[in-house]
Amino acid sequence: MKNTKTPGKTRKQDAVKRGITATREAQPARDGQGQDEDSLAWNRWREWDEALLAAMDRLRALQEKCSKVAHKTGCLFGKRWAEQADASELRLLANLRDERDSGLEPGWEQFFEKQEDEEQEDTAYGVRDALYGAIHPEHDGDRDKADEFWVGVIGNILRDAACPDTLLKGFAEGALEVWGKNPR
């Protein structure tokens, strides 16, 4: 009769071998073999999540680049406009900045941010119209006059801009830079 009992050393090796096999089966395989549906779904979700986060990072970088380009472009248009603008227009623009920086109103930076609150006077028509109204208070709220002004000063770039509020901020800051160097 053949001995069916395995010696002690062989049993330990067998148990260790079974343990290693069980551990490997519990770990997700890279090639998809030996994985259950939950593990596959989890891996797919993790890969999708990582791809989504990477895409969001790329979009943030593009948005930042867009903002920088829009601000620079606005500065150039603002400087060009300020060279031929009336002193009263530039004085009113400087007054707007000074009022915003005084702390009584939301700040200069907030003036150019999109606001969700439609009840705020400045944002009823958006930054474009509010900035025009500050420069030309006699036409405040007249969207047709605002359109005419902005097309004359910037052209259709404002309408097509990806970051119009940043473009307008650059415009105002460029104009104020010229005004600060040469107040009339």
Q: Which residue has the tokens 């895409």?
A: 55
pLDDT in tens, 22-46: 444 444 555 555 568 888 888 888 8
- Of 18-27, 52-61, 75-84, the range with the lowest mean pLDDT is 18-27
pLDDT given for residue 38 in this prediction: 80
**Backbone dihedral angles phi then psi of residue 91, each to the nearest 5 degrees:** -60, -40
Question: Count of alpha carbons within 13 Å of 137, Cβ hemisphere only?
Answer: 9
DSSP alpha helix (H) spans, the chain: 8-26, 37-84, 87-101, 108-111, 127-135, 143-153, 157-160, 164-181
| Tokens coding 98 | 């000074």
Supply φ then ψ for residue 38, to 5 degrees.
Answer: -65, -45
For residue 23, the model assigns a pLDDT of: 44
Task: Look at the block and give the residue holding tokens 């290693």.
Answer: 20
Model confidence pLDDT, tens digit, residues 118-173: 444 444 468 899 999 999 999 988 889 999 999 999 988 888 888 889 999 999 99
Residue 93 has, within 13 A of its CA and on its CB side, a CA count of 27
Helices (H) and strands (E) in the chain, counts: 8, 0
CA torsion 55→58→62→67, rounded to 10°? Answer: 100
Lowest mean pLDDT among 5-9, 72-76, 93-97: 5-9
Domain range annotation of the chain: 69-181
> Which contacts qualify for 136-143: CB closer than 8 Å, 24 or more apart?
136/89, 136/92, 137/92
For the record, the structure tokens of 130 come out as 């509010």
Task: Write down the residue that tokens 């790329």 correspond to.
Answer: 58
- Strand, coil or helix: what is 35? coil
Claim: this prediction has a pTM higher than 0.85: no
